[in-house]
Structure 1
Amino acid sequence: MRKRIRPLFFISLCLVFSACSNIKYLPAGQNLYTGATVRINPDSTGKITDEKNVKGVLESKTRPRPNTSFLGLRIKLYIYNLAGQPKKSKGIRHWLRNKVGEPPVLQSQVKIPYNNAVLASYLISQGYLQAKVTGDTVVKNRTAKAIYTAETGDRYTINKITFPKDSVGIASIINSTSGQSLLKVGNFYDFDVFKAERERIDNDLKQNGYFYFNPDYLLLQVDSAIGKHRVNIYVKVKEITPNAALKPYTIKDITIYPNYSLRGDSSIRASKPVLYKDFIIKDPRNTFKLGVFDRLVFFQKGELYNRRDHNQSLNRMVNIGTFKVVKADFLTDSAKSNQLDVNFYLTPLKKNSLSFQVIGTSKSNNFVGSEVKLTQTTRNVFRGAEKLEISASGGFEKQIRGSDQTQGNSYSITGQAKLIFPRFLLPFFKFNSTNAFIPKTNILASYQILDRVDYTLNAIKAEFGYDWKESIYKEHVFNPISINYVRSKVVDSATLFAKNPSLRTSLENQFIVGLNYNFTYNDQVNQNKRNNIYFSGDLETSGSLVGLFAPKNDKGQKSLFGTALSQFLRLEGDLRNYYKVNKTVIWANRLNVGFGYAYGNNKALPFVRQFFAGGSSDIRAFGSRLVGPGTYIIPDSLTFRDQGGDIKIMLNTELRFKLVSMLYGAAFIDAGNIWLRKEDPLRPGGKFKANKFIEQMAIGTGAGLRVDASFFVIRLDVAFPIRRPDLPNGPAWVMKDIAFGSSTWRKQNLTYNLGIGYPF
């Protein structure tokens, strides 16, 4: 009982000490502000819709915000006070006080009347047109808390919406799209919806040529005098709207300056223009082929201006990755004209550039978890906005078990050349995409060395394929031609293959010739969403078509140049979810599943296409590629210990939270395993069985620290197993064996994972 009481006593003592220390340093006569509480209709029985959420929004709008806290401790304020007043504007004390610490928020900084007005204004905007808010402060032990009382009254609903009656001009367009209105009879009065409705109408008008119109020219009059807590809304165009905004415009001249600079402005403007279709090109240096602009500019001479063409043109010019500055000017000859001249000013990026990247990877068949990459980029190679990228990269994956035993290390060196065309190169067919994203054709060649303790793999790859974005969230990569030549060098291969013949077909030299496709959905670009989703799906085939014509070698295998041709189908899906608990806490989850089917020449997937479990970005409590298959126990005598499989199921859940400045913490649980599609006598218990796979999952847990500097992340995770599938008596929970105080247990169970980037 005493052992349980002591930790609680210690924690309580820390809380009291921290609170007392923070108050001790307050200026004389001042109180520490600890935050605001909002009470909604406390003196009546009336409940409002979604009261909990409204209360949270109101409290978030109060100012100032109190000092940040973690588990009740105002750590940043404590550090600020602990650092004291440094004598110099540099050094550790200055850094702690001004960069890590946080000054106290005082009661004197709270402006009650201002907050009353802000909260009442928000309630009125949500339809509580009779809302009133009063605030006061409560002081206790030199801490002050603000309490705001909101009397909302009834929430108003929309009774009727009236649009302009005219049948010509702007009024006719507003009327014709009224069926798409965001204002609905019976809905609550909501000022945010009113603003969105004005923007909707403005967008419809822009699509019909009304270039100079803007939402401020629209008036939504609200009549709340009809009674029964209802309102009538009248949509009108303001009488002060200028004439230029009341008429549609057509496109006249389209002039493009593809090599524009302020320094050479006068000479470029004076240069001889080149007429190409509907465009006037002013490019005295002949920097680009004229056909490039067919894919960049969506306007056509003589058509009505519309916002879609405007946005898509600008987006394409930005997304093509060739220009550092993109600007569009729209001009009219006179106030009476209804025509627009369009000028596009494009300033190219430097032809050559050098970049350095730090990358974290987490593919299930990848041997390397992190890498650094140096890339030389040459732009506009053939004057068609092409891009040539030549890169060299080196990576590592490192795990340390116990105090001195290093395991699972792998290293890689890769050289790669990639030529990117900003269009689809398709024989006998011209494909014109109409969205804002540039489709790309990629030609790639690479050479990679993967090195581990037991083996070295050399891989030569050549690919031809396409990359296009369906939308800001969806991307497709399709390589109809993918050729890989894999050459392996295994330590003591004769002994290894004698003990395990099935490894010979997966590790011997081979060609992987086929196609691959990847679909990615990622809405993380929308930072305003509380719940973000990432999905990546992969399909790869090898040997299907080529195998019909490939000759057989002396071993009876389909082959190319005497080397065996791999024949398989491989599928993989990776689903991730990122839920923002609050501004500093994210709950991340991942489900990764894979299935491989080998046929023809192959009894198993090639080693470089197998699924593995365990590692720094996988099931972190277990050695890299040392989990499974199934309940198979790896003998201590086996020198080649990496275990691959045909099927993989993995789940990860991780709570990520900010500690201080760039330092973040994490607590996680990983679960998963790999299995074989068919029984292997040399690996008993490895076959996948639908009624057994859940109980065969390896499970580990742990915690980690991350230094997140936005442009790179360094990660250290410490993990240990809580369920093992490879025990002599079968899978079992091992939580009862946890003994952090035992050096033997720590050496056998704690696994340290060092990596770059987040695990997923």
Structure 2
Amino acid sequence: MRKRIKPLLFMIPCLMIAACSTTKHLPEGENLYVGATVKINPDSAGKVKGQKGLESTLEDKTRPIPNSAVLGIKYKLFFYNLAGEPTKEKGFRYWLRNKMGQPPVLGSEVKLKYNNDVLRSYLSTIGYLQADVTGDTVVKNKKVKAIYTAQTGTRYKINKVTFPKDSTGIAANVNGNSSKSLLKPGDFYDFETIKNERIRIDNDLKEAGYFYFSPDFLLIQADSTIGKGMVNLFVKVKDNTPEVSKKPYTINNITIYPNYSLRNDSSIKASEPILYKDFKILDPKNTFKLGVFDRLVFFNKGETYNRRDHNQSLNRMVNIGTFKFVKADFIPIDSFKNNQLDVNFYLTPLKKNSLSFQVTGTSKSNNFVGSEVKITQTTRNVFRGAEQLEVSASGGFETQIKGGQSKQGNSFSLTGQAKLSFPRFLIPFFKFNSTNAFIPRTNIMASYQILSRIDYSLNAIKGEFGYNWKESVFKEHTFNPISINYVKSNVKNDTVLTRNPALRTSLEPQYIIGLNYNFTYNDQVDNSRRNNIYLSGDLETAGNLAGLLTSKNDLGKKTLFGTALSQFIRLEGDVRNYYKVNKNVTWASRFNLGYGYTYGNSTSLPFVRQFFAGGSSDIRAFGARILGPGSYKVPDTLTFRDQGGDIKIMLNTELRFKLFSIFYGALFADAGNIWLRKEDPERPGAKFKLNSFMDEIAIGTGAGLRVDASFFVLRLDVAVPIRKPYLPEGKRWVINDLNFGSSTWRKENLIFNLGIGYPF
């Protein structure tokens, strides 16, 4: 017990010293600025809706920003003072003071009048048109705090919205779409909504052909003189709006330069154009098939210009992955009566061939360290239809290290893969044209993998034909109606099968022939959302159609070329939630659920399709792939310890927060396990039972440090188990056994996870 208390007793004075030292080195007559507090209507009973949130928003708008702090400790200022004044512009002290440290924010930097005006202006934009703000400072112990008092008055609401009455031209269009207005009588007056209303009207006008119109040409006037906390709004087109912006345009000539470069600008423009449907194509080198542009350009000659076709054309040209630069140039025809636009698309292709090299490394929680090298050759526009061919080779290794020595030999993998991608749906006897901004793809993939582990090796050949398409910026589908996988294993040590008979079936040579489908919803591309969601669902079936077309052997199993067919249905769902507590703190959670059902030939899922638990991106307080199934614990004496299951339930939650610079911290908890659908006499307690599975959930917790350089994330997590499902009932909670001062306890329970990227 004393060993546990000593570190705490040491930390307390350290924190006190760090807190006190922040004011020690201030300039003469100065105080340390520690932040602002905003009080809304403190002298009246008139509280406003969402008052705490509004006060917090107003506090964030005050300046200056006080020194960064964690748990009340201004660590950056502490480093700044600790370094002192360096004698030269290099060395450790200079780095500590200027890179890790931060100079004190002084009370003299506070500008009360400026902040009063800022807060009053913001309150006005959200409807408090008569708000008033006053500020003052309070000094104590050489620390100064700013206190702002806001008297909001009545929050004004919209009484009526009036649109232009003109029945012709641009005003008629604005009035005709007034039913879609964001400004609703009874809603609070809000300047942000007014700005969005101008953008909405501009979008409607762009769809109607008003190419040169801008939101700046709209005026929304407010009349607050009607009293009773109400305001009338008047929408109008400014009188000084240019004439060119008041008329709709139609598309005239559409010219495409698919192999454009500034160096060859004059020669390309001087070449003879090819007329194809509504397009003029200047491609003297005949780089692309003409049909490619049917799927890239949505404009037609003679139609009214609209923004939707404009954006979809540009998005497709960018997303097709063939062009380095994309530019659309709209040129008005020099005629007042025509109101027409010529459109030129300038497309600069990427290099036909490129080579990429990737190196990754991991250190797993089961004392394995590994790395992988991958080389990928990409060839673009293979058949002149914007196709892509990717050929890659990768190799990786693992070795188990304990006590500084490799005790259990080495493991390695070698993989070769080729993937041919067509930027369209290839469906026999049917032509399908998608009309959204995203390019659908048909993929043909083949790969071969050699995996050699301590006691067994795997050879896997895989081929797939399928489709990938985006329904929207958030929704993506992958469907492979043909998936063929042949897996052959070689057990190096027969005693492995004796010790783990359930492994025998899953490692038998087998064909996995079927289909698979994945749906992904991911709104993380929208950074404006406070709450982001990621959802992924997988369905895989094997042996259905192939099982009908093959016959049984003497043992009653359906085979292909003498090898058994796997027959199963596998489902997996993954839901993640990312909630931004503030700009520096995110609460991330994940729920993962998997279920596999075998039938016919198969009594268990193939080893490569089983679910596993434990590891650096899973339940981090337990070794990789050795947790479960159920309350079963794999004996430490077994060399091969990987434990797979048919069912998986996992829940992770993690609080991520910024420390300084590119360094981030995390506090996390993981829970879950795997189970078998059927009893296994060799693994008692492994079967899933609805009335007892909750008592077999493993739980771990810990803390982590991340180095997030945007393009690269290095992660170190330290985890400890607090619930072990393999212990006797009633003794599975081990939180009371935590003893960081014991070397024996640390050796048995402290798990270090080093990885690349976030766990989820």
Aligned equivalents of 2:523 and 2:410: distance in 1?
Answer: 34
Residue 471 (structure 1) aligns with? 472
Instruction: Spell out the pairing of 1:266-665 with structure 2 (5 A cutoff).
Output: 266-334=266-334, 336=336, 337-357=338-358, 371-395=372-396, 411-493=412-494, 495-665=495-665
Task: Please list the CA deviations of residues 624-657 of structure 1 after superposition, one character each: whole Å capped at 9, or x if unmatched.
Answer: 2111111123234544322111111111111222
Is the 8 Å Cα contact of residues 575 and 590 (structure 1) preserved in structure 2? yes
- Tell me the alpha carbon deviations over residues 701-744 of structure 1, each in whole angstroms, 9 at most, x when there is no partner: 22222222211222222222111111255761112222211111
Distance 2:90 2:39 in 1: 45
Give the 5 Å matches for 1:129-144: 129-144=129-144
- Identity percentage of aligned residues: 73
Query: Would the aligned equivalents of 1:670 and 1:701 in 2 still touch at CA under 8 Å?
Result: yes
Whole-angstrom CA distance in 2 between matches of 1:373 and 1:338: 55
The 10-residue stretch of structure 1 (604-613 or 664-673) with the greater mean CA deviation from structure 2: 664-673
1:30 equivalenced with 2:30 (yes/no): yes
Give the 3 Å change call, closer, same or farther, for CA 11–755 of structure 1 in structure 2: closer
Aligned 1:224-235 pairs, distance under 5 A: 224-235=224-235
Using the TM superposition, give the Cα deviation of residue 246 of structure 1 relative to its aligned residue in structure 2, in angstroms: 0.9
Aligned partner letter, 1:389: E
Structure-1 residue corresponding to 2:736:
736
Q: Distance in 1 between matches of 2:16 and 2:641?
A: 53
Find out whether 1:98 has 2:98 as its counterpart. yes
Shift in alpha-carbon separation, 1:404–1:129, aligned structure 2, 3 A: farther
Distance 1:119 1:232, change over 3 A: same
Shift of 1:555: 3.7
Aligned to 2:147: 147
Looking at structure 2, the residues matched to 357 and 207 of structure 1 have their Cα atoms a distance apart, in angstroms, of 45
C-alpha deviation, 1:485, in angstroms: 1.0
Q: How far is 1:587 from its partner?
A: 1.4
1:526 CA displacement: 1.1
Q: Does the 8 Å contact 2:622/2:721 carry over to 1?
A: yes
Contact persistence 1:360–1:757 (CA under 8 A): no
Partners of 2:210 and 2:246 within 8 A in 1: yes
Q: TM-score by structure 1 length?
A: 0.95
- 1:487 deviates by 1.4
Deviations 1:575-617 (A, max 9, x none): 1111122222221111111000111111000011011111121
Contact 1:626/1:643 (<8 A) preserved? yes
2:665 is paired with a residue of what secondary structure? strand
Amino acid at match of 2:391: I
Q: TM-score, normalised by structure 2?
A: 0.95
Query: Aligned AA for 1:582?
Result: N
Q: Whole-Å Cα distance in 2 between the matches of residues 358 and 133 of structure 1?
A: 57
**Do the aligned partners of residues 168 and 578 (structure 1) sit closer, same or farther apart at CA in structure 2, a change above 3 Å counting?**
same
In structure 2, the residue matched to 1:727 is 727
Point out where structure 1 has 5 or more consecutive residues left out of the alignment: none
Report deviation, 1:91: 3.1
Give the aligned residue type for 1:624. Answer: A
**How much has 1:231 moved relative to structure 2?**
0.6
After superposition, give the CA deviation of every residue in 1:374-418 in whole Å (9 maximum; x if it has no partner).
Answer: 322111111111111122234567887899898999653322111
Give the Cα–Cα distance (whole angstroms) in 2 for the partners of residues 556 and 6 of structure 1.
68
User: Is the contact between residue 397 and residue 755 of structure 1 (CA under 8 Å) also seen in structure 2?
Assistant: no
Given residue 460 of structure 1, which amino acid in structure 2 is its aligned partner?
I
- Counterparts of 1:737 and 1:461, CA distance in 2: 48
Q: Single out whichever of 721-730 and 107-116 deviates more from structure 2.
A: 721-730
Report what 2:745 is aligned to: 745
The 1-side partners of 2:716 and 2:406 are apart by 17
Given residue 31 of structure 1, which amino acid in structure 2 is its aligned partner? N
- CA drift of 1:187 comes to 0.5
Show CA shifts across 1:524-581 (max 9, x none): 1111212111111100011100111123345432122211111111000011111122
Distance 1:425 1:368 in 2: 43
User: How far, CA to CA, are the matches of 2:136 and 2:342 in structure 1?
Assistant: 59
Aligned partners of 2:234, 2:76: CA distance in 1, in Å?
52
CA distance in 2, matches of 1:341, 1:378: 34
Q: Equivalences for 1:120-199 in 2 at 5 Å?
A: 120-199=120-199
Q: Does 1:70 align with 2:70?
A: yes
Hey, what's the Cα distance between the residues in 1 that align with 2:38 and 2:7? 35
Per the alignment, in what secondary structure is the counterpart of residue 211 of structure 2? coil
Matched with 1:40 is 40
Question: What is the CA–CA distance in structure 2 between the aligned matches of 1:300 and 1:88, rounded to whole Å?
Answer: 67
For 1:121, what is the secondary structure of its paired residue?
Answer: helix
Q: Distance in 2 between matches of 1:532 and 1:407?
A: 43
Q: Which amino acid letter does the alignment assign opposite residue 65 of structure 1?
A: I
Alignment of 1:246-285 (within 5 A): 246-285=246-285
Residues 368, 410 of structure 1: 8 Å contact kept: no
Question: SS of the residue aligned with 1:384?
Answer: coil
2:505 is paired with a residue whose SS is helix
Whole-angstrom CA distance in 2 between matches of 1:546 and 1:293:
39
Instruction: Rate the CA distance shift 1:80–1:219 in 2: closer, same or farther, 3 A.
Output: same
The code of the aligned residue for 2:652 comes to N
Q: State the distance in 1 between where 2:540 and 2:359 align.
A: 27
Note if 1:690 corresponds to 2:690.
yes
Range 223-232 or range 27-36, more displaced: 27-36
1:612 counterpart SS class? coil
Contact 1:183 1:194 in 2 (8 A): yes
What's the offset of the Cα at 1:660? 2.5
The one-letter amino acid paired with 2:339 is: N
Residues 114 and 395 from structure 1, CA distance in 2 versus in 1: closer, same or farther, beyond 3 angstroms? farther
User: Residues of 2 paired with 1:368 and 1:390: CA distance?
Assistant: 27
> Residues 368, 564 of structure 1: CA spacing in aligned structure 2 closer, same or farther, 3 A cutoff?
farther
Partner amino acid for 1:620?
A: R
In terms of mean alpha carbon deviation, does 338-347 or 169-178 score higher?
Answer: 169-178
CA distance in 2, matches of 1:97, 1:299: 59
Q: 1:397, 1:754 within 8 Å by CA — same for their partners in 2?
A: no
Structure 2 distance, partners of 1:274, 1:548, is: 52
- Larger mean CA deviation between 16-25 and 214-223 belongs to 16-25
Residue aligned with 1:264, SS: helix
CA contact (8 A) 1:80 1:103 kept: yes
Change (3 A) 1:9 1:685: closer
Task: Tell whether the 8 Å contact from 1:614 to 1:624 is kept in structure 2 after alignment.
Answer: yes
- The question of whether the paired residues in 2 share the 8 Å contact of 1:134 and 1:150 is answered with yes
For the residue of structure 2 that corresponds to 1:344, the secondary structure is strand
Contact 1:663/1:706 (CA < 8 Å) preserved in 2? Answer: yes
Task: Quote how far apart the aligned CAs of 1:96 are.
Answer: 2.3
CA RMSD of aligned residues (A): 2.4
Q: Distance in 1 between matches of 2:65 and 2:214?
A: 36
**Whole-angstrom distance in 2 between the partners of 1:581 and 1:451:** 45
Separation of aligned partners in 2, 1:449 and 1:94: 52
Q: 1:398 to 1:152 in 2, by over 3 A?
A: farther
CA 386–240 in structure 1, closer or farther in 2 if over 3 Å, else same? same
From the superposition, tell whether residues 351 and 439 of structure 1 become closer, same or farther in structure 2 (CA, over 3 Å).
same
Q: 8 Å contact 1:739–1:745 — kept in the other structure? A: yes
2:81 alignment counterpart: 81
Aligned to 2:262, what secondary structure does the other structure show?
A: coil
* Contact residue 397 and residue 616 of structure 1 kept, 8 A: no
